[in-house]
């Protein structure tokens, strides 16, 4: 769970800003290790728990479209130089007045500013399939959505058409905050 500063929201698509240092809730191994510290063959099978952390990535603008199995993230470095887009492949689970619920699909796509694309985390997706975290049809659907986004980028179509490249957050905006009623709870499914 990561809070975003809403930049635009028309009810079917939400554009939100996520700066470095934003507090978040993420998954960790139940023994306290970060998931990237767990060997790949075990990463999607170990018991998990929720833990508090902060966003350590760059300044990010995220486009979340209702019913679309991906979100597109714009990345900038600390000097506001555009670094590229990240296509986070996901399973949408709905939306409320204050939240967007999605499950990470593990497999992702990185699109560089020149619109060349590369798949990301294919090894993790294979490991997730091996332990049943993803199945073959789910992985095929993720790949289909990834190919759709790659084709959009190659055709210079929205959201890869230069939209939002000039986005700069208001310097007076505070860091987005987690809701006060967030519970860490017990174990999560692997």
Please report the pLDDT score of residue 99 as a whole number.
Answer: 84
| CA distance readout (Å), 38 to 31, 34, 103, 168, 174 | 10, 7, 20, 36, 34
pLDDT exceeds 90 at position 96: no
Question: If you search the block for the tokens 């890869």, which residue do you land on?
Answer: 160
Domains in the chain with CATH codes: 5-22+57-161 (2.40.380.10)
pLDDT exceeds 90 at position 187: no
Please report the pLDDT score of residue 180 as a whole number.
Answer: 82
Separation of alpha carbons 174 and 142, rounded Å: 34
List pLDDT tens digits, range 104-145. Answer: 999 999 999 999 999 999 999 999 999 999 999 999 999 999
């Amino acid at each position: 769970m990561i809070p975003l500063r809403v930049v635009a929201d028309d009810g079917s698509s939400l554009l939100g800003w996520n700066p470095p240092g934003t507090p978040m809730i993420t998954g960790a191994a139940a023994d306290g290790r970060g998931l990237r510290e767990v060997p790949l063959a075990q990463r999607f099978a170990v018991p998990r728990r929720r833990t508090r952390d902060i966003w350590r990535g760059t300044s990010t603008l995220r486009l979340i479209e209702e019913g679309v199995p991906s979100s597109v993230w714009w990345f900038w470095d600390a000097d506001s130089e555009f670094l590229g887009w990240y296509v986070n492949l996901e399973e949408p689970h709905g939306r409320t007045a204050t939240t967007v619920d999605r499950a990470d699909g593990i497999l992702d796509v990185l699109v560089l500013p020149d619109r060349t694309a590369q798949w990301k985390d294919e090894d993790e997706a294979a490991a997730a399939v091996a332990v049943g975290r993803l199945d073959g049809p789910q992985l095929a659907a993720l790949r289909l959505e990834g190919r759709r986004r790659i084709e959009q980028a190659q055709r210079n179509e929205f959201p890869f058409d230069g939209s939002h490249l000039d986005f700069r957050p208001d310097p007076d905006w505070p860091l987005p905050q987690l809701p006060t009623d967030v519970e860490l709870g017990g174990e999560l499914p692997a």
